[in-house]
Structure 1
Amino acid sequence: MGITKGKSSIRKELVKFTITLCLSTMGVAALCVTLNAIALNAGAILPANYSEHAAENIKPRLQSAKSIKKDMIPEGISYAVFDKKSKRMSEGTMTEKDASNARKKIQHQPYFHFSQKGYMVIDRKNEYCVLQYSLRSEFHSPLLRRYLPNYELTGLSILVVMLLLTVFIVTTRFANQLRRHFHTLSSITGSIQKQNLNVDPQRSRIKEFDDVIDSLMKMKDALQASLAAQWESERTKKEQIGALAHDIKIPVTIIKGNAELLSLTEPDEEQSEYTRYILDAGMKIEQYVRQLIQLSKTEEAVSVYVEYTGIKGWIKHVHRDAAALMGPKRIDLILSERGTDGIEAAMDKHLLHRAIMNIVSNAVDYTPEGGEICMETVCTDTFLSIAVSDSGRGFSSAALKKATQLFYTEDKSRHSAGHHGMGLTFAHNVVNLHHGELKLENKETGGARAEIRIPLKTVKQKQALQI
């Protein structure tokens, strides 16, 4: 694949980085050499043979002098005077260690070297004068020479630090350029992950990064098309469910009307029983149609009307309607509440009421004759919890995962002729609209338990809000 005209590539950028790094380090080295030369010419740095020349210049004077004094020795040079016979040092500025080394090598006159130091032996009548001087470059300033005696090591250290600093600056600049390109890729993938598909990224000047950006944009377009098709399919399905539900109401109304007319005649016992079957089935169909219509509207989540409601009075109506759902079935309804006195909370009381009735209706369907249903209400300043439990066979592991899905039914362990997989879906949607949680579980003693828990903000004065 050829390189697009006007675009760079990662290989070119690496070559450019390498060349820049080499030129920068060579430039730093040349700068150090130039500064060293300027310092030597200006006298700020003394050359390596500077002290040696000074010793050569002072040598004739020291040979002819009657006695050698400290003020006769140039700055930067140490000396020692040794007796010819005893080799004892009579005076001087050398250290004891250097004087000992000089005493051992006086016979190597007139010059000898030891540990980067030069020694000049001046033969006098009854004594030797040994001058010691450095064979390395040094700072001219006595202060610098005192704290930085090794100029070569100091210069080398400065050079290494400058080279490392140069490498760091050039590498950091190159890394920042790459980081900007990677940040562009990261922002695109982050937007796609959040399903924010209105992405218009800035193009890179590196071909490989542009190729990745193009691939991500193609993936974004494909995802956008897929989501649009999915949303359209969901919208169409909801419209079809709503339309079908309304269409079903017409024949159901006709069936019920004719069944009611039959019940007004004088049928025999068998015909009366069939008429009751028709009326009961019609009522169930109407109930399912109403649930379908409610469900399609709730899934759209157009609005929730929240108003501050007294929990005590509201839960009383919920208990009354829950008792009515028991019907002729012999089931004990056990009610309990805690913390509801004097509490008013913001919620959509009508939606929550219907959601709870759906859960209670499911519990009635799955509770056998002689069983019991418990409804426990707990209210605090931060949450409202309403738990409904039954004494049936409980949920299977599959139902615990799928019970809130539309039209899901559990034919094996919780089969009921009146269950069509809409009640828990409706309740789940209502709880989500209240930013709460619907928790499904099995009790240790047997039976199913469904708990609605929604966060609350309690007040002492009613106030209506629209969200």
Structure 2
Amino acid sequence: MEVTKVQQARKTTKMRTIFLGYLVMFCTGTIALALILVLIFYVLMSCGIILPANYAENQVHEDKTIIEAGKTLQPDSRQKLYKYALFTSKGRLIEGNLSDKQAQAAWNVTQQKDTTYHFPYNYVKVSHHDKVTVMRYSVSAQFEPPILRQYLPNAELSFFAVFCIAFLGGGVLLASNFGRKLTHKMSGLQQATKQIQAQDLDFSIQLSGVMEIDQVLHSMDTMKETLKTSLQKQWNLERSRREQISALAHDIKTPLTIIRGNVELLTETEQSEEQKNYTDYIAESIRQMEQYIKTLIEMSKAETVATLQTETINTDFYLTKIKDQVMALAAVKKISVVFAAFNLPRTLYIDPILLERAIMNVASNAVDQAPEYSEIRLTVESAGDCIHFSIVDEGPGFSAEGLKQAAEQFYMGDSSRRLTGHYGMGLYITKSIVNLHGGKLIITNSTETSGGQVCIEIPISVSPTS
């Protein structure tokens, strides 16, 4: 027996080492991402694209000083980062860039203190004569370009959002890469499992290079070799057993033939009634033994049917041969055979020997069941992409149980179809042959004769040379 070897990987790594490698890569990438974002933030701040967090607060304090001095605020090239509302001393809104609701809220929160914080804004109230100005601002870094500030009002939160998105994206990419790598490493294990499941033990196990997976693969390889050895021994024993049974069955046929011949000679001599009974007993026992031997031979043949020997044959010539054999079989019981054929192809691509055996098994059962001087109908026709061989007898038909189990091996439970010397092999062998052809065996009772009806349905295959 050929022993396959495990193909060694160049290097073995522990699973935790691979995981730690990805963890270090992830942590390193996270730190590098944070440093890069901080660097970009400070570069943009130094270039003036990002304004510092106290920029709006400085503007407010500068303008507060001007208002308290009674001076008019002059236009400034810098855009104001705060919003304001101008009130009368009674709290009536005069002007401002806060909405009415926002202005009222600003007025309310500055009634107790001139400088206060109410999430998320800071408020500063400046009074001069009979007018009150309330300025609202937030202490956070902001983008200098108005368009960026409109959609990204907080530069720090924007950079934090970018960090979170990049953090999650990096985590997903690393996890996906780790999953693909782990799947690749386990492909040898999956392949070995599929091979063993398919009962194919002639393969070499590919090691993954991961210590934990390779330990499982080594155990599986040992199991595979042990299973292969055990199955090989079992197959050898089964083959030897079949050969011995077949050889013994053929050897026993010779002395049985001699005994039967002598018994037939005895029946031609003058015998008393008691001697005739004994002679009949011997003859019946010999007949049963011959049937037992026939069954043993059929069983051996049934177990060896494995592949088809297909060839292209002439349909008419083949069916003529089948019809003649069925008629010869039926003539013993003086049974007539009605043959009909419809829409047949000119050639068939089948195993002629196996299919002939299947048809004759069905015909033999029909002849055994049919009473003398009755009729058997053999019909062959093509329908769609299949050819149908139907045999109908005028016997008692199948029982409900027989319709379900008649094609099972050694089935003998159907008393309506059980015959002396038959041991549940005929239809089982037929079904095996039909399955090899990719067809199906249909067992029913005829609605016309009430007898058994067995149909062999075979796909019409095309010859490779046609």
Bin the TM-score by the shorter chain: 0.7 to 0.9
- Distance in 2 between residues matched to 1:129 and 1:241, nearest whole Å: 115
Aligned in 2, Cα 1:279/1:323: closer, same or farther, shift over 3 Å?
Answer: farther
The answer to whether structure 1 residue 148 and structure 2 residue 155 are counterparts is no
Within a 5 Å distance, the mapping from 1:31-50 to structure 2 comes to 31-50=36-55
The equivalent position to 2:314 in structure 1, one of 285, 306, 309, is 309
The equivalent position to 2:412 in structure 1, one of 400, 410, 413, is 410
The equivalent position to 2:226 in structure 1, one of 203, 222, 225, is 222
Aligned in 2, Cα 1:330/1:411: closer, same or farther, shift over 3 Å?
Answer: farther
- Distance in 2 between residues matched to 1:440 and 1:234, nearest whole Å: 31
C-alpha contact 1:409 1:421 (8 A) present in aligned 2: yes
C-alpha contact 2:249 2:296 (8 A) present in aligned 1: no
Task: Please name the residue that 2:211 is paired with.
Answer: 207
C-alpha contact 1:259 1:279 (8 A) present in aligned 2: no
Q: Which amino acid aligns with 2:412?
A: E
- Specify the SS of the correspondent of 1:326: helix
Task: Please name the residue that 1:352 is paired with.
Answer: 355
C-alpha contact 1:439 1:451 (8 A) present in aligned 2: yes
- Distance in 2 between residues matched to 1:397 and 1:19, nearest whole Å: 69
Within a 5 Å distance, the mapping from 1:161-200 to structure 2 comes to 161-200=165-204
The answer to whether structure 1 residue 456 and structure 2 residue 437 are counterparts is no
C-alpha contact 2:106 2:123 (8 A) present in aligned 1: yes
- Specify the SS of the correspondent of 1:335: strand
Alpha-carbon shift at residue 187 of structure 1 (Å):
1.6
Alpha-carbon shift at residue 160 of structure 1 (Å):
2.7
Alpha-carbon shift at residue 389 of structure 1 (Å):
3.9
Task: Please name the residue that 1:3 is paired with.
Answer: none
The answer to whether structure 1 residue 299 and structure 2 residue 304 are counterparts is yes
Alpha-carbon shift at residue 324 of structure 1 (Å):
2.2
The answer to whether structure 1 residue 385 and structure 2 residue 384 are counterparts is no
Alpha-carbon shift at residue 308 of structure 1 (Å):
3.5
Alpha-carbon shift at residue 23 of structure 1 (Å):
5.5
Alpha-carbon shift at residue 255 of structure 1 (Å):
6.3
- Distance in 1 between residues matched to 2:296 and 2:119, nearest whole Å: 102
Aligned in 2, Cα 1:73/1:361: closer, same or farther, shift over 3 Å?
Answer: closer
Alpha-carbon shift at residue 122 of structure 1 (Å):
4.8
Aligned in 2, Cα 1:58/1:342: closer, same or farther, shift over 3 Å?
Answer: closer
- Distance in 1 between residues matched to 2:444 and 2:419, nearest whole Å: 19
- Distance in 2 between residues matched to 1:73 and 1:45, nearest whole Å: 14
Q: How many residues align?
A: 447
Cα deviation digits, residues 215-237 of structure 1 (max 9, x gap): 32223223322332233233323
Alpha-carbon shift at residue 51 of structure 1 (Å):
1.7
Aligned in 2, Cα 1:211/1:350: closer, same or farther, shift over 3 Å?
Answer: closer
Q: Which amino acid aligns with 1:42?
A: C
- Distance in 2 between residues matched to 1:360 and 1:106, nearest whole Å: 109
| TM-score (normalizing by structure 2) | 0.74
Q: Which amino acid aligns with 1:213?
A: L
Aligned in 2, Cα 1:97/1:68: closer, same or farther, shift over 3 Å?
Answer: farther
- Specify the SS of the correspondent of 1:208: helix
Alpha-carbon shift at residue 338 of structure 1 (Å):
5.0
Alpha-carbon shift at residue 248 of structure 1 (Å):
4.7
Within a 5 Å distance, the mapping from 1:437-448 to structure 2 comes to 437-440=440-443, 448=452
- Distance in 2 between residues matched to 1:248 and 1:443, nearest whole Å: 40
- Specify the SS of the correspondent of 1:226: helix
- Specify the SS of the correspondent of 2:206: coil
C-alpha contact 2:310 2:349 (8 A) present in aligned 1: no
Cα deviation digits, residues 356-390 of structure 1 (max 9, x gap): 22322233234455765443433224112223344
Q: Which amino acid aligns with 1:47?
A: P
C-alpha root-mean-square deviation of aligned residues, in Å?
Answer: 4.7
Alpha-carbon shift at residue 197 of structure 1 (Å):
1.4
Cα deviation digits, residues 112-134 of structure 1 (max 9, x gap): 44444344455556655554433
- Distance in 2 between residues matched to 1:170 and 1:222, nearest whole Å: 40
Report percent identity of matched pairs. Answer: 29
C-alpha contact 1:345 1:457 (8 A) present in aligned 2: yes
- Distance in 2 between residues matched to 1:411 and 1:59, nearest whole Å: 109
Within a 5 Å distance, the mapping from 1:60-459 to structure 2 comes to 60-61=65-66, 67-71=72-76, 74-82=79-87, 91-101=95-105, 103=107, 111-122=115-126, 124=128, 127-244=131-248, 246-248=250-252, 250-251=254-255, 268=269, 292=297, 296=301, 299=304, 304-311=309-316, 314-329=318-333, 331=335, 333=336, 335=338, 337-340=340-343, 343-369=346-372, 373-390=376-393, 391-392=395-396, 394=398, 397=401, 401=405, 403=407, 405=409, 408=410, 410=412, 413=415, 414-419=417-422, 423-424=426-427, 426-440=429-443, 448-457=452-461
Alpha-carbon shift at residue 190 of structure 1 (Å):
0.8
C-alpha contact 1:394 1:446 (8 A) present in aligned 2: no
C-alpha contact 2:52 2:141 (8 A) present in aligned 1: yes
Q: Which amino acid aligns with 1:154?
A: S
- Specify the SS of the correspondent of 2:456: strand
C-alpha contact 1:366 1:392 (8 A) present in aligned 2: yes
- Distance in 2 between residues matched to 1:465 and 1:291, nearest whole Å: 39
Aligned in 2, Cα 1:223/1:105: closer, same or farther, shift over 3 Å?
Answer: closer
- Distance in 1 between residues matched to 2:66 and 2:307, nearest whole Å: 111
Alpha-carbon shift at residue 191 of structure 1 (Å):
0.9
- Specify the SS of the correspondent of 2:348: strand
